[in-house]
A = this chain, B = another copy of it.
Amino acid sequence: MIRYQLLSRDGEARRGRLETPHGVLETPVFMPVGTAATVKTLSPDELRGLGAGIILGNTYHLYLRPGHERIARLGGLHRFMSWGGATLTDSGGFQVFSLGEGKGKGEGGAAPKGSLVKIVEEGVEFRSHLDGARHFLSPEKAIEVQEALGADVIMAFDECPPSLADRAYHERSLARTQRWLDRCRAAWSEAEARKADAGPGARTSCSLFGIAQGGLFPDLRRRAVEEAAALDLPGYALGGYAVGEEPAQMWEGVARDAPLLPPDKPRYLMGVGTPEDLLAGIAAGVDMFDCVLPTRCARNGLLFTRRGRLTIRNARWADDPRPPDPECGCYTCRTFSRAYLRHLFRAGELLGLRLNTLHNLHHYLELMAEARRAIEERRFESFRRERLLAWSAGPE
C-alpha cells in the first residue's frame, strides 16, 4: 500500500511525500504517460535519469494489447517494461467512453471514432479499436485487469462525461459512477485480501483511488467527494476536468473542489495539463498530475521552454546554433542546436521525437521540482507569477 505524508503547506499548496511499493515520491509530482507500457520514445533508464519516479499506464490499451493476463504471466507491468519506479494505471473507462466521441487514437487519449459503446448499469460494452472485437468492462473487470497489471496505484472505474453536458446527464452519470465506486472498492478489497493470503512473494499491493466527478456543478462535486471520502480509500482524484471546458472554468473548479478532498490522502487531478494548469492545480492543493501534453507535443515539434512554447519546425530556427532553451540543463539542450532539431523534425527522424520528448518531460519534471522548493520556502504564489510572466514572453 501507499502512505501519504503532508510535509508543509503554502496557502492551499501542499508539499508532501508519497511512499509506494516502488519508491518514495516527492509531491506535487508529475507522472509521464506510458500508454502501451512505454513512455513513447524513451527508455526506462532515460526516465529515471529525468527524475521520473512514477509513470502511468493505460488499462484500456494494455488490456487489448498485449493483454493483462500476458503481462501478469510475465511478472506484471513493472517487470514487463523493466521499470523499477512506481506505476499508476487508469481504469480504462476514459478511453472506453471516448470511443463514442471520436477524439482520435493514441497515447493516453481516446480510441478512434465509430466504435460502439453501450452503457448499462452493469458496465460498458465496447468494440476494440484494433480489431472491432466486442468487450465488456465493468467495475469488477476494471479492478481485475488492473490487479493483474499490478500497478502501485489503481483507479476506480467511472464515467467521465464532457464538462459541458447538461445537469440531468451529470446527475444520472454521477449516481451510477458512485454505485460503481462501491463495487470497485468491494472487488479491490477481495483481490487484496487474496494476495495477502498468498503470503510473501505475492504481487505488489495495489492502492485504489476513488474519483470524484460532477462536471462544473459545485454541489454535485461536493456530493461526489463526500461519498467517496466516506469509503476511506488510499487516495482520491478529481476526474472530468480538461474535457471541453475553458481553462478558467477548470481552474475555478479545481480551486473549489481540491480543498474538499481528504487532507490526509494524496490528491490527483487526472489528465491535466499545460504548465499553467499544473501551477493552478498545485495552488489548489493537488499532489499528482498526469498528461500526454509534454510527450505528444514533443512528437508534434512543440517544445516547452522557460520563455513559452517553441515550434521547432519554424524557419526562424534554420540556422540557429542555440539550444531550444538556453536555461535548460537537459541532454537535448546541453547537446543540440535548434537548427539540428529542426532538421531532424523536418526529415521525420525518430531521434528528433526522442530529443523533443526528453526536453519536454525534463521541463515538466523540473517545473515540479521548482514548485516543491517554492512551497517549502513559502513563496509559491510569487514563483507562479514569475513563471507565467516568463512563459508569456515567447522564445527569443
Give chain B nearest CB distance to A66 CB in angstroms. 4
Q: Mark A57-77, 1 if CB is under 8 A from B, else 0.
A: 000000001100010011100
> Any chain B CB within 8 A of the CB of A82?
yes
Question: Do A40 and B82 form a contact, CB below 8 Å, given A319-B74, A343-B66?
Answer: no
CB proximity to B under 8 Å, residues A47-103:
65-66, 70, 73-75, 80-82
Give chain B nearest CB distance to A372 CB in angstroms. 29
Whether the Cβ atoms of A37 and B340 lie closer than 8 Å is: yes
A3 to B347, CA, bound (A): 35
> Any chain B CB within 8 A of the CB of A149?
no
**Closest chain B residue, CB of each to CB of A357:** B350
> Any chain B CB within 8 A of the CB of A321?
yes
Q: How many copies does the complex hold?
A: 2
- Chain A residues with a Cβ closer than 8 Å to the other chain, count: 39
> Any chain B CB within 8 A of the CB of A44?
yes
Whether the Cβ atoms of A351 and B66 lie closer than 8 Å is: no
Question: Do A42 and B351 form a contact, CB below 8 Å, given A70-B318, A319-B74?
Answer: yes
Whether the Cβ atoms of B351 and A38 lie closer than 8 Å is: yes
> Any chain B CB within 8 A of the CB of A43?
yes
**Closest chain B residue, CB of each to CB of A348:** B36
Question: Do A66 and B339 form a contact, CB below 8 Å, given A319-B74, A321-B74?
Answer: yes
> Any chain B CB within 8 A of the CB of A382?
no
> Interface residues, chain A, CB within 8 Å of chain B?
36-38, 40-45, 65-66, 70, 73-75, 80-82, 318-319, 321, 331, 335-337, 339-340, 342-344, 346-347, 349-355
**What 9 A-B pairs come out closest when comparing CB atoms?**
A66-B343, A41-B350, A38-B351, A36-B347, A82-B335, A38-B349, A350-B350, A74-B339, A82-B336
Enumerate 8 A-B pairs (CB-CB under 8 Å) in ascending A order.
A36-B349, A41-B351, A43-B331, A66-B318, A73-B319, A82-B336, A350-B350, A354-B354
